[in-house]
A and B are shown apart, each in its own frame.
Chain A
Amino acid sequence: MRFYEYESKALFRRHGMPLGQSGLAHTADDARRIAGEIGGPVVLKSQVLSGGRMKAGAVKFADTPDEAAAHYDAIVPIVVNGQTCRAVLVEEKKGIAQEYFAAITWDGRHKRPVLIFSDMGGIDIEEVAETHPEHVSKTHFSSLLPITPRIAKEAIAATGVTGQALNRLTPIVFELMQVFLRYDLTLAEINPLARLEDGRFVVLDGHIDMEAEARGTHKKLLEELGIGAEETRQAREATAFEQRGAEINAQDHRGVAGNVVEFDGDLGLVIGAGGGSLTLFDAVRKHGGKPANYCEIGGNPSVKKVQELTRLILSKPGVRKIAVMMNVVSNTRVDIVARGVIKGCIQSGKDPKDVLAIFRIPGAWEDEGFKILAKYGVDYCDRSVSMYEAAGRAVAKLNG
């Protein structure tokens, strides 16, 4: 879950990391007032959940409060990579002597956090790693044993940094490592970490991602930073259809049914489980089908959840039929899913045999499930029909 820059900086500030003077503007008047308080040149930065702000013109410099107010109005409407501006950060602008890069992320292969440091910050670090590998260090560290500042020191010194800079940078980078571990972050990045012409070291821009699974653990921090529990912070915000799906899934704690992602096709999908859904979505598209949604049934959801998921999908404009498909199931009961989708169809005023294009869920309790489907005349198949073939049948039926 991505943080806005101002939220990342608020977290850094709580941990005593050095930052320039700044304020968050929600109006042009705010921007004017904050620039006046800073009393010198300022930078105005759009708060969006995306990189590429500079290129999009969503970062501007102002010498006077009036200019800051004018820039505020220019920045707010700019959409960066589909992301809208939440507010504008107004920050003091000082001359920069040198830019550094420091980031910590997880390395899934080593199963450890990795600290990446460079004395060539400011620009794309991947490019630096290719063109100047000696200026980028990668240092894995333990998430289990105590860590001390020497890890940060070694990482920084490995890029050739020495003297006062090494001693000033070490505590900042070490703090970043601690923040990363303490808050279950998946990315903690400072770029650039700058040495100013007046000798100060400050965090000019920061980027934080928190593990979605850890939001509960850090509820208090998120509340204090003003991050609402309803904010998904995905690449795009949840649609009304998706929000309703999440509500259905949250009704009870039995299994998963309802975590939908909306697409604009005409074939509704009640599919599962984790890997099966990915496989089936590909298969539908490969056959030229246009999915109306992605979803994932997992574990053993209640009849009610499956039923309401079915109703939700059938209520979506443009949906003509639903395909119900899963891999061979181990702990999901075929009969419960069958009951749920049939009930959902009937409650939507549809005949299950017309609206259910195919039912392909083999596995636990399949005999009981197939009996119910047969009773309602629904087209079903067992494991002798592959997932790919089942998807093809559903698409053919929709188009035929």
Chain B
Amino acid sequence: MSILVDKDTTFLVQGITGREAVNLTRECLDYGSKIVGGVTPGRAGRDVYGVPVYDCVRDLVAKHGPVDGSVISVPPGFVRDAAFEAIENGVKLIVIVTENIPRREVAQMVELAGLRGARIIGPNCLGLITPGECKMGGIGGPAANTKQAYTRGPVGIMSRSGGMTTEIASTLTAAGLGQSTAVSIGGDAIIGTSYAELMPLFEADPETRAIAIYSEPGGRMEAELAEWVTTNHSRLPIVAFMAGRFMDEMQGMRFGHAGTIVEGKEDTTAAKIERMEAAGISVAERIEEIPKLIQKRLAEKR
């Protein structure tokens, strides 16, 4: 078992003829993912590594039948339209890779997805992976690198940084802890799916026995997670790593991800750590402590 994607998951790539999308398509195909087609307006009839290209998602669905997911890799000004197109053509899982999308557009995509029973992961993310079954997005990079970092096992990963998702997976793998599903949730102030929104899925997945999360300054997502864990008496031990502690000393400055800007007292890393620890979440000082903390928490449960 896993969450969101498995060996049967089919998806398309919107913007498939773009440079980054071509790479991503190649990597996912090499990994064994089922990409049924791609969309770039005006490029119908071409192919990318054998994947047929269509002008519209509608045409793709007409030809191949319903598709589970879509990876959107188009310039920022075209993302909202692409997401609407996927949603209105019955796609239920949408991964948005593109960054620099204003909050209003993200909110509108999320709202439409909610009305249609679809889910958005991202924007500004690298997608998700169920090791050995499906890699949906640039997560892990080329197939050989992905296989080196990600192995199958009991740990679910949720991360606000795409790169750190792989760093954590690689560290877990080195310690003999594989992953059920790893999700790069995105680094923006508003994202399609937060930690707390993924928790019920991991909770219901028998393979997942622990969670590792990568966290950053900004936003209230950790507070939301802490609240969810407490309210729902989660069975899953969670180990979190908090980056950007130095930002507590420099409020109002933006470093890296759009979501990291710290504007109020609630958002400091110190406040987040306090909330998470109060909810029983272990907070690691360094990435390399994560496997040990997970093993310790799993041993305590037995």
Binding site for B on A (CB under 8 A): 106, 108-109, 111-113, 142-145, 181, 184, 186, 211-214, 217, 234-236, 261, 272-279, 281-283, 285, 294, 296, 299, 326-331, 362-364, 383-384, 386-389
How many residues belonging to B are interface residues under a CB distance threshold of 8 Å? 66
List 28 contacting pairs A-B, 8 Å CB cutoff, sorted by A. A106-B103, A106-B107, A106-B189, A108-B220, A142-B111, A143-B107, A184-B103, A212-B258, A214-B104, A234-B254, A235-B250, A235-B251, A274-B162, A274-B187, A275-B164, A275-B216, A276-B161, A277-B256, A278-B243, A279-B287, A282-B245, A283-B286, A296-B255, A328-B167, A330-B146, A364-B145, A386-B171, A388-B287
Chain A, residue nearest B173 (CB): A383
User: Which residue of B103, B250, B286 is within 8 Å of A386 (Cβ)?
Assistant: B286
Q: Quick one: given A111-B190, A113-B107, are A386 and B287 in contact (CB under 8 Å)?
A: yes
Query: Are B141 and A330 in touch, CB under 8 angstroms?
Result: yes
Among candidates B108, B146, B160, B255, residue contacting A261 with C-beta atoms closer than 8 Å: B255
Which chain B residues lie closer than 8 Å to A235 at the CB level? 250-253
How far is B239's CA from A208's CA once the two chains are assembled, in angstroms? Answer: 38
Instruction: Give me the 10 closest cross-chain CB pairs, A-B, nearest first.
Output: A275-B161, A330-B141, A235-B252, A278-B244, A327-B167, A278-B243, A275-B164, A274-B256, A273-B163, A214-B102
Indicate if the CB atoms of B243 and A282 lie closer than 8 Å.
Answer: yes
Q: Would A273 and B161 count as touching, CB distance under 8 A? A: yes
Which of A108, A274, A283, A388 has the most chain B CB atoms inside 10 A of its CB? A274
- Give per-residue flags for B89-114: 1 if the beta carbon is below 8 A from chain A beta carbons, else 0: 00000000000111110111011100
* A285 to B244 CA separation, bound complex (whole angstroms): 11
- Contact (Cβ within 8 A) A106 B190: yes
B214 adjacent to chain A (CB < 8 Å): yes
Partner of A294, one of B100, B163, B190, B255: B255
Given contacts A275-B161, A279-B164, contact A364 B107 (CB under 8 A): no
In the assembled complex, which residues on chain B have CB atoms less than 8 Å from the CB atom of A386? 171, 286-288
Distance in angstroms between the alpha carbons of A362 and B170 in the assembled complex: 10
Whether A278 lies near B255 (C-beta < 8 A) is yes
How far, in whole Å, are A389 and B285 apart by their CA atoms in the complex? 13
CB distance from B24 to the nearest CB of A (A): 9
Shortest Cβ gap from A237 to chain B (Å): 12
Bound-complex Cα distance A143 to B80 (A): 13
Contact among A261, A272, A384, A388 with B163 in the assembled complex (CB-CB below 8 Å): A272
- Are B138 and A330 closer than 8 Å at their CB atoms? yes
B35 at the interface (CB under 8 A from A): no
Q: Given known contacts A111-B107, A281-B246, is B102 in contact with A363 (CB within 8 Å)?
A: no
What separation, in Å, do the CA atoms of A276 and B247 have in the docked complex? 14
B111/A111 in contact, CB under 8 A: yes
Which residues on B sit within 8 Å (CB–CB) of A330? 126, 138-142, 145-146, 162-163, 166
* Contact yes or no, A144 B108, CB < 8 A: yes
Q: A112-B107, A327-B164, A364-B141 are in contact. Are A275 and B126 (CB under 8 A)?
A: no
The reply to whether B100 and A213 form a contact with Cβ atoms under 8 Å apart is yes
Question: Given that A184-B103, A234-B253 are known contacts, is A109 also in contact with B166, CB under 8 Å in the complex?
Answer: no
Q: Given the complex, which residues of B lie within 8 Å of A275, measured CB to CB?
A: 159-164, 187, 214, 216, 243, 256-257
Judge whether A276 and B167 touch: CB under 8 Å. Answer: yes
Assess A383 versus B170: contact at CB under 8 Å? Given A273-B163, A330-B141.
yes
Candidate in B161, B190, B243 with the most chain A CB atoms within 10 angstroms: B243
Residue of B nearest to A113 (CB): B107
CA distance A283 to B243 in the complex (A): 9
**CA–CA, A145 and B115, complex, Å:** 11
Q: How far is the CA of A11 from the CA of B166 in the complex (A)?
A: 45
**Interfacial chain A residues near B287, Cβ < 8 Å:** 279, 386-388
Inter-chain CA distance A211–B99, complex, in Å, is 13
- CB-CB under 8 A from A363, the residues of chain B are 141, 145, 166
Closest CB in chain B relative to A63 CB, distance in Å? 36
| CB proximity of A239 to chain B, nearest CB, Å | 13
A144 and B112 contact, CB distance less than 8 A: yes
